[in-house]
Structure 1
């Protein structure tokens, strides 16, 4: 088992897959994950944190592999009863999932921080990685579209990403900040490598990097920062990233992602990882000023996740950022 320490920046499903591989490859506590919270919202009086919960369920082995979200062996009694009463059922909340939201909301109402509540949930679920929200302050993604400005979950779930995207806004981001617990963890347990997971660059990674103080903390680590492209062969493995890129007038390629990071977060990345199927794009990606690594990045099985994690961890020993 590797003794390397890794810090990962992650959104939901795609990032959680890689984080599972990393957790399996590392000793307990050696993986720290900063989770996007700009997708979070209040629904039916509950605080819902979709990306955090996807990480919790995936890393604990509780996730539903068929749906790709939520918990395995889920039941829907409460949602069905709510529908019979004429209640709002557009956001699918299973009975087991509801328990997570009830616990979180109660603990937050009692004065707990999102970081404290998340780490308590992780411990109770047997997650050995340390999951940190990007901020304890609420941040909300708004999607500018041809149907106006939409809350992210309305765009993503209720409208199934059908509106054409023109821009994004993160309400509350300017006044948010990195939690003291996360800042202390980054300082006390310096990682050997920072991995930007194959998550949506616009609505998952950009808000994490946009938290005031986050970029300076990452720069102060002085370790290699490697991003894995979420676009493979012109398609997003999961989610609307490819559709967003097309509607924003960007090339729907791994090199398009590299260009986005280079333009929006200059100097952040030392290396960029693309899939074997995109090997012809190496030069285009390198033109953004990063070192490019080609390897299998599609994670269909646990073995795929572990293999990609092992290859990324190996970058620690190669002196990628030297």
Structure 2
């Protein structure tokens, strides 16, 4: 794929999306990969602006992420967190010492008037990341989880409560007023990308905020190139995160077909190609009935080679 001049726009959440983004970055030419990152997970903690999905993608592409947990930095130390614990501070969201440097710098720069887009590009440059990473918006959007414990900010549900509350739905505070990041809009309106890849991220809380922002999914649907989505559910289970639990609690089938039906119902005509794992091959015919082409391949990414292979497969479907 390194000989192609095609450009790809990937939509990504955190760990699962970052894995495929790494594979895409490996097989595409430098600067041919554009990534729109979910920012509805962003929140304020200890007076700092935390951007979990942006940082997970950045650290993964830079080769400095914690390989075991998928987020944070490899070889991290925790002296500041230990000191905060001695002060009885809120330490439920674990921030390592070097990771704190990112948040301190970003928070200070935002207070000085810099945009999140500018700061994300600068972090990428300093980390040696050649893919172009954009926050989905420079405006604040926040995921609210409607649960049996009441409305919870996403990180309180996801990290503090470890996804234990039963969900009844989601909303995105600030979504109506927020605007899609300008470079993403320009890429689409200028038809500057050859196709779109929706990474295997949570469709409800990672992908939905991007697609529902400022007419984004309709803009993507009008592109000349195809839109491909990789299913995050494999064999009835989520590879990472609470997507399967959410689907069950929302009374949706916890299957690849259930995910395809969700995309078809909420974003009609958007997804042209739906990628599922070999273990879900028997669902291909039903998914095709939704008007999507189906690609059956290996979607579980355990090694760097797995990530590259899935990226190659996706690009072959998108670029023809």
Alpha-carbon distance between aligned partners in 2 of 1:217 and 1:231, rounded to the nearest angstrom: 26
- Cα distance in 1, alignment partners of residues 255 and 191 from structure 2: 35
Q: What CA distance in whole angstroms lies between the structure 1 residues aligned with 2:189 and 2:176?
A: 23
1:180 aligns with 182
Q: Name the stretch that deviates more: 95-104 or 188-197.
A: 188-197
Unaligned runs of 5+ in 1: none
Equivalent residue for 1:29, pick from 28, 31, 34:
31
Cα distance between partner residues in 2 of 1:278 and 1:29: 34
8 Å CA contact retained: 1:15, 1:199: yes
CA RMSD of superposed structures (Å):
1.1
Deviations 1:155-190 (A, max 9, x none): 000000000010001000011011223322444571
Correspondence for 2:307: 305
Q: What is the alpha-carbon distance in structure 2 between the residues aligned to residue 224 and residue 317 of structure 1?
A: 8
Q: Indicate the residue corresponding to 2:296 in structure 1.
A: 294
Q: CA deviation at 1:153?
A: 0.4
C-alpha distance in 1 between matches for 2:72 and 2:59: 7
2:102 counterpart residue number? 100
- Give TM-score, length-normalised by structure 2: 0.97
Match status 1:235 vs 2:232 = no
Q: 1:64 aligns with which of 46, 66, 77?
A: 66
The structure 2 residue matched to 1:267, chosen from 260, 266, 269, is 269
Aligned residues: 318
Q: 1:214 aligns with which of 208, 213, 216?
A: 216
Indicate if the aligned counterparts of 1:190 and 1:221 stay in contact, CA closer than 8 A.
no
Unpaired runs of 5+ residues, structure 2, are: none
Contact 1:11 1:200 in 2 (8 A): yes
Distance in 2, matches of 1:82 and 1:16, equals: 30
Q: Tell me if structure 2 keeps the 8 A contact 1:177–1:213.
A: no
Q: What is the CA-CA distance between 1:232 and the residue it aligns to?
A: 0.2
| Aligned structure 1 segments of 4 or more residues deviating by more than 6 angstroms | none
Equivalent position to 1:129, from 119, 128, 131 = 131
Q: Supply the distance in 2 between the matched residues of 1:317 and 1:302 (Cα, whole angstroms).
A: 22
Residues 56-108 of structure 1, C-alpha deviations (whole Å, 9 max, x = no match): 00000010001221000100000000001111111000011101111111111
Select between 56-65 and 284-293 the one with higher mean Cα deviation. Answer: 284-293
* Alpha-carbon displacement from aligned partner over 1:2-60 (angstroms, at most 9, x marks no partner): 42311100000000000000000011100000000000001111100000000000000
2:17 aligned with 1:15: yes
Contact kept in structure 1, 2:228 and 2:318, CA below 8 Å: no
- Separation in 2 of the partners of 1:203 and 1:173? 13
> How far apart are the structure 2 equivalents of 1:197 and 1:28?
19
Deviation at 1:192, TM superposition (A): 1.3
Conserved in 1, the CA contact under 8 Å of 2:195 and 2:319?
A: no
- In the alignment, the residues of structure 2 paired with residue 177 and residue 27 of structure 1 have an alpha-carbon distance, to the nearest angstrom, of 29
Counterpart position of 2:249:
247
Contact 1:193–1:223 (8 Å) recurs in 2: yes
Q: Normalising by structure 1, what TM-score?
A: 0.97
